[in-house]
A and B are shown apart, each in its own frame.
Chain A
């Protein structure tokens, strides 16, 4: 009997290892109810009480060995099958991905939002005003009377004698001062119009962003400090600013403000035309005439104002050399941002 069991084991293990064997059939043949091992066990009654446990132990061992061999073979088969499948499922990963329709915010919007967010962080709110504006708000209230030579620097589109397309966003400041009381801290981004023919550096329509602060005790140092924060946030932490005296009718003192070139850091390069500085802003302390015109007492309050062209900032930020690209809206241009 012992020999029979050994034989069964031998032949079962051999079959399991043979190529193309059906593991299920092998299991039925040896371990099934009518299987060979079962048949042997049935004959155990004829054994002596002494031999029975020994043969029983052997039989269990044989069953366990066969079961284990079948399981092992099964695992091996599955592993092979998986390996085959993975091989078959290989993709050409160099083929292009399925495109997802991706939209792009216009670069001017992106820059404008960036600017807005910097100033919002400093407590500024966004103020808007009409683009078709009264001469009064665009000029007269800003200390530029009719027939004043300062009007030359801003060739203006007129609708009637008293209505024009605003040549700056400063009228928004006047409107704001008329209906708000200090403390005032606003920025006014928007479209402005100048009667300049369209070329690589001029556009009859462009965007400005102006800021205005009016409160007690505002100093020119505060103006410098505020613009310094702006410049660092916009152009990088190492950016420095430089004030140069200038004249604007609605601020006094006035300054043109340069930022150190963010490409060369001030050493001079192609972007800054070798100067190390890039002119970006106009700024100054609000002229007392403008304050009192808006019903704010210049003896009590002071303030500063600043303004910049958004196109100019965007052109510098993205190295764009032609302002017309912003208004052509070529998809190939837009998708770069």
Chain B
């Protein structure tokens, strides 16, 4: 809401309060100011002047040398101009050196093609005015002022054209539609600055009994659930003309374009009273009737911006006997628009259901000044004063003759809210010591009627409905800064993280400790991302939660896997030429249920992505690190079937119960190339929920060994395909309890072992808890190990 301080001064005297103080105080009491603009401050030294003499410029075929009379600023000033609409005797705005014009333009004395020019004659555009602000004036050429300026030569153009004002921009919250008006803000200002509010009853003379509105019209509400009140008056003998300068300038300051007197009056009243109004051309109403009804299914309607709409029965229309003439509270119809030929006008001042207006405006893609006010829920008691004000303005402007009588259909008058007045409770709740007298003063200033222990809430404050609401009114005017900070004296609560939250935090720390950096990525992806990671077309994991109104396809489905997010980030880093990158994310994935009305499962996964100086075993080491820290005994099994991964370089991580904890490996080169990689990319996806379920973070101390260990080394030559994991497993099992550790310490490939083969060297550490192992015992275990390896894998010691 843009508020003109000139206009405000009609209702409350805030003279002497500078703009900044005004804005700060209004914000402090709850009417948030976004900023203010001092209109006219960009114009300096532009005055009214009269062209007294004109002659052609000797060195130009289009320039004129004018002599102007600018009153006290000089009676004979020479100014060269290129305009062709001047004549001797014309009254014009003259910028006299050094003058300032909007847009930072500075006018100094100078020479134009050798002829001295002591200023500039201004066009409308040069003063930042439009033909809407100055109806009937030429847009090109110099602005020719009205003749009544004859006796104002030398006066500041800002005073002559009423260009001086301050516009304060308020951010009005949705609970305060009453503040979308000059009067509403005047009330707030009056309370905020302890001033008196002057709102008088509009006075309409009418036609002194010569004519009644009933002779023209009747009004019926067929949908009282959507229209709480409908009031109308008729104006005859209308003379459509521009509205006067003061009205145009106030509208302009409020950001509304002046059109003509009748339309301007409706806008003026909307801004002043907060009540949207509409004016119909009476001639276009069939059957002399107004029917407020639901639209028919597929009823066609053309709004006055010449847009066609197809309506439905959830929408409310204003109709005559035959057709809809307005979409209630949103916009009038082209069929009943005010034109220059309009002779009789019907003014509408009504109160429509907010939610209905909102839905209608949304469905038709037309949010208007009117609809944004109605949708917040307006005061039905405001209809009549606004209507009267409109008619008063008609008479003031001489725009027509107001017909006697008001048609007012108000099926169910709304009773006023009455609340108990409980000052002690307010103070207790707020933690304040506001005097009762101050509370009463504030509430009365805001329009409440105080009756002993009761507050009668004014009809325009539907937002005041309970104790908290009154407490807020009281304290916002008293000052939020008067609330003293206190410490809660309440029951002790135990703060902290749950086991799972703690586990997540530790997992993140662990990954960071292992040299990985954490990323955060969007939860929504493109359905095409599933193709990029080579997810099979029939994979159930493609079924995603779909956003019905996404910003674009790229962010249209909730991911069921965080792999595309990681790959995209890796790709971006690769494009940024970051050489070695090690990342992880604790990402949420969203797995839909079958029923559409059920919320999806939200599960967390740990994704890891590496490229650069790294390899599969580095990734595996990271995964093993997580498993070890989580106290999970897991095994790794080759996995050849995950299409995102290299079939020969992928492993599943299996818990002791054989459930899958995750997968890791090198990205399938085709997948990697979808993200611009030709070098290896390593990725892992761990199911965080499963990790947590299997985690055993209970630490139990095992006594340190008292007896020495014995080691035995074994080397075998085996086929390239033989898995070290299998050898390890057999060795550990064969050795039984005495085996403390089995580790790979060398792999050799080369001519000595032959093509397609490798030499695997393993070290077994043996130890007993209760004695030093004898050589015989160790040898016995070694024999058993060798025996089992030969039996189960056909491996023999390398000779």
Say yes or no: B429 contacts A132, CB within 8 Å. Answer: no
In the complex, A160→B558 CA distance in Å?
14
The listed residue (B30, B375, B573, B602) touching A330 by CB distance below 8 A is: B573
Say yes or no: A197 contacts B551, CB within 8 Å. Answer: yes
16 contacts between A and B (CB under 8 A): A103-B511, A105-B508, A105-B512, A109-B518, A120-B495, A126-B501, A149-B358, A150-B174, A183-B493, A213-B488, A225-B488, A247-B174, A249-B175, A252-B469, A329-B521, A329-B573
Say yes or no: A195 contacts B497, CB within 8 Å. Answer: no
Interface stretch (choices A54-62, A83-91, A238-246): A238-246
In the complex, A256→B597 CA distance in Å?
36
A-B contact count (CB 8 A): 249
Interface stretch (choices A5-13, A25-33, A214-222): A214-222
Using A113-B505, A146-B355 as known contacts, list a sample of 14 further A-B pairs with CB atoms less than 8 Å apart, ordered by residue number in A: A103-B512, A105-B512, A124-B493, A159-B548, A160-B597, A197-B551, A198-B551, A218-B490, A224-B485, A243-B481, A245-B28, A253-B475, A254-B472, A328-B569
**Set of chain B residues within 8 Å of A329, measured between Cβ atoms:** 519-521, 569, 572-573, 583
**Set of chain A residues within 8 Å of B27, measured between Cβ atoms:** 244
Say yes or no: A216 contacts B513, CB within 8 Å. Answer: no
Is B696 interfacial (CB-CB < 8 Å)?
A: no
Q: Which of B506-529 contact A (CB under 8 A)?
A: 508-509, 511-524
The listed residue (A128, A157, A219) touching B429 by CB distance below 8 A is: A219
Say yes or no: A221 contacts B505, CB within 8 Å. Answer: no
In the complex, A119→B375 CA distance in Å?
39
Is B549 interfacial (CB-CB < 8 Å)?
A: yes
In the complex, A109→B558 CA distance in Å?
22
In the complex, A126→B555 CA distance in Å?
29
In the complex, A332→B574 CA distance in Å?
12
Say yes or no: A204 contacts B551, CB within 8 Å. Answer: yes
Using a CB–CB cutoff of 8 Å, the interface residues on chain B facing chain A are 27-30, 32, 173-176, 354-355, 358-359, 372, 375-376, 428-432, 466-469, 471-472, 475-476, 480-481, 483-498, 501, 505, 508-509, 511-524, 545-551, 555, 558, 569, 572-573, 576, 578, 581-583, 588, 590, 596-597, 599-600, 602
In the complex, A168→B482 CA distance in Å?
30
Is A285 interfacial (CB-CB < 8 Å)?
A: yes
Contact A104-B518, Cβ < 8 Å, known A149-B375, A288-B468: yes
Say yes or no: B558 contacts A132, CB within 8 Å. Answer: yes
Number of residues of chain A lying within 8 A (CB) of chain B:
89
Say yes or no: A216 contacts B490, CB within 8 Å. Answer: yes
Q: Which residue in chain B gives the minimum CB-CB distance to A221? A: B431
Q: Which residue in chain B gives the minimum CB-CB distance to A257? A: B480
Say yes or no: A101 contacts B515, CB within 8 Å. Answer: yes
Q: Which of A107-137 contact B (CB under 8 A)?
A: 108-109, 113, 116, 119-126, 128, 130-134
B688 to chain A, nearest CB (A): 13
**Set of chain A residues within 8 Å of B520, measured between Cβ atoms:** 106, 108-109, 326-327, 329
In the complex, A163→B354 CA distance in Å?
24
Contact A244-B431, Cβ < 8 Å, known A162-B597, A329-B519: no
Q: Which residue in chain A gives the minimum CB-CB distance to B362? A: A147
B98 to chain A, nearest CB (A): 29
Is A69 interfacial (CB-CB < 8 Å)?
A: no
Say yes or no: B492 contacts A123, CB within 8 Å. Answer: yes
Interface string of A163-205 (1 = CB under 8 A from B): 1010000000000000000011100000101010110000011
**Set of chain A residues within 8 Å of B490, measured between Cβ atoms:** 183, 213, 215-218
Say yes or no: B173 contacts A130, CB within 8 Å. Answer: no
A235 to chain B, nearest CB (A): 16
A167 to chain B, nearest CB (A): 13
Q: Which residue in chain A gives the minimum CB-CB distance to B497? A: A126
A192 to chain B, nearest CB (A): 11
A182 to chain B, nearest CB (A): 8
**Set of chain B residues within 8 Å of A3, measured between Cβ atoms:** none
A96 to chain B, nearest CB (A): 16
Q: Which residue in chain A gives the minimum CB-CB distance to B522? A: A205
**Set of chain B residues within 8 Å of A113, measured between Cβ atoms:** 505
Contact A104-B512, Cβ < 8 Å, known A149-B375, A204-B555, A225-B488: yes
Contact A103-B513, Cβ < 8 Å, known A109-B518, A149-B376, A157-B550: yes
Say yes or no: B358 contacts A147, CB within 8 Å. Answer: yes
In the complex, A204→B524 CA distance in Å?
10
Q: Which residue in chain B gives the minimum CB-CB distance to A146? A: B355
Say yes or no: B545 contacts A219, CB within 8 Å. Answer: no
Is A228 interfacial (CB-CB < 8 Å)?
A: yes
- Do most interface residues of chain A lie in helix, strand or loop, or is the interface mixed? mixed
In the complex, A226→B488 CA distance in Å?
8
Is A77 interfacial (CB-CB < 8 Å)?
A: no
Say yes or no: A288 contacts B467, CB within 8 Å. Answer: yes
The listed residue (A108, A289, A330) touching B576 by CB distance below 8 A is: A330
**Set of chain B residues within 8 Å of A150, measured between Cβ atoms:** 174-175
Q: Which residue in chain A gives the minimum CB-CB distance to B374? A: A149
B762 to chain A, nearest CB (A): 29
Is A334 interfacial (CB-CB < 8 Å)?
A: yes
Is A50 interfacial (CB-CB < 8 Å)?
A: no
A124 to chain B, nearest CB (A): 5
**Set of chain A residues within 8 Å of B358, measured between Cβ atoms:** 147, 149
In the complex, A327→B578 CA distance in Å?
17
In the complex, A100→B355 CA distance in Å?
62
In the complex, A288→B588 CA distance in Å?
34
Say yes or no: A106 contacts B519, CB within 8 Å. Answer: yes
**Set of chain A residues within 8 Å of B582, measured between Cβ atoms:** 101, 103
Q: Which residue in chain B gives the minimum CB-CB distance to A197? A: B551
B552 to chain A, nearest CB (A): 9
In the complex, A209→B430 CA distance in Å?
24
Is A46 interfacial (CB-CB < 8 Å)?
A: no
Say yes or no: B174 contacts A148, CB within 8 Å. Answer: yes
In the complex, A242→B24 CA distance in Å?
13
Is A302 interfacial (CB-CB < 8 Å)?
A: yes
Q: Which residue in chain B gives the minimum CB-CB distance to A122? A: B495
Say yes or no: A119 contacts B495, CB within 8 Å. Answer: yes
A29 to chain B, nearest CB (A): 49
In the complex, A251→B37 CA distance in Å?
32
**Set of chain B residues within 8 Å of A220, measured between Cβ atoms:** 429-432, 475, 483
B108 to chain A, nearest CB (A): 32
Say yes or no: A222 contacts B487, CB within 8 Å. Answer: yes
Say yes or no: B29 contacts A224, CB within 8 Å. Answer: no
Among the interface residues A133, A184, A244, which one has the most CB atoms of the partner chain B within 10 A? A244
Is A102 interfacial (CB-CB < 8 Å)?
A: yes
Q: Which residue in chain B gives the minimum CB-CB distance to A256? A: B32
Contact A224-B483, Cβ < 8 Å, known A109-B508, A252-B472, A330-B573: yes
**Set of chain B residues within 8 Å of A287, measured between Cβ atoms:** 468
**Set of chain A residues within 8 Å of B28, measured between Cβ atoms:** 244-245
**Set of chain B residues within 8 Å of A259, measured between Cβ atoms:** none
Is A92 interfacial (CB-CB < 8 Å)?
A: no
**Set of chain A residues within 8 Å of B486, measured between Cβ atoms:** 219, 221-222, 224-225
Q: Which residue in chain A gives the minimum CB-CB distance to B613? A: A101
Say yes or no: B480 contacts A245, CB within 8 Å. Answer: yes
The listed residue (B376, B468, B469, B596) touching A160 by CB distance below 8 A is: B596
**Set of chain B residues within 8 Å of A213, measured between Cβ atoms:** 488, 490
Q: Across the A-B interface, give the 7 residue pairs with the lowest CB-CB distance, nearest first.
A: A221-B431, A101-B515, A245-B30, A253-B472, A219-B431, A247-B173, A147-B355
Is A322 interfacial (CB-CB < 8 Å)?
A: no
Say yes or no: B493 contacts A185, CB within 8 Å. Answer: yes
Say yes or no: A246 contacts B32, CB within 8 Å. Answer: yes
Q: Which residue in chain A gives the minimum CB-CB distance to B519? A: A329
B584 to chain A, nearest CB (A): 8
Among the interface residues A163, A242, A331, which one has the most CB atoms of the partner chain B within 10 A? A331
Is A335 interfacial (CB-CB < 8 Å)?
A: yes
B615 to chain A, nearest CB (A): 14
The listed residue (B173, B376, B513, B596) touching A246 by CB distance below 8 A is: B173
The listed residue (B430, B431, B476, B494) touching A245 by CB distance below 8 A is: B476
**Set of chain A residues within 8 Å of B547, measured between Cβ atoms:** 157-159, 165
Is A14 interfacial (CB-CB < 8 Å)?
A: no
Q: Which residue in chain B gives the minimum CB-CB distance to A134? A: B599
In the complex, A113→B586 CA distance in Å?
15
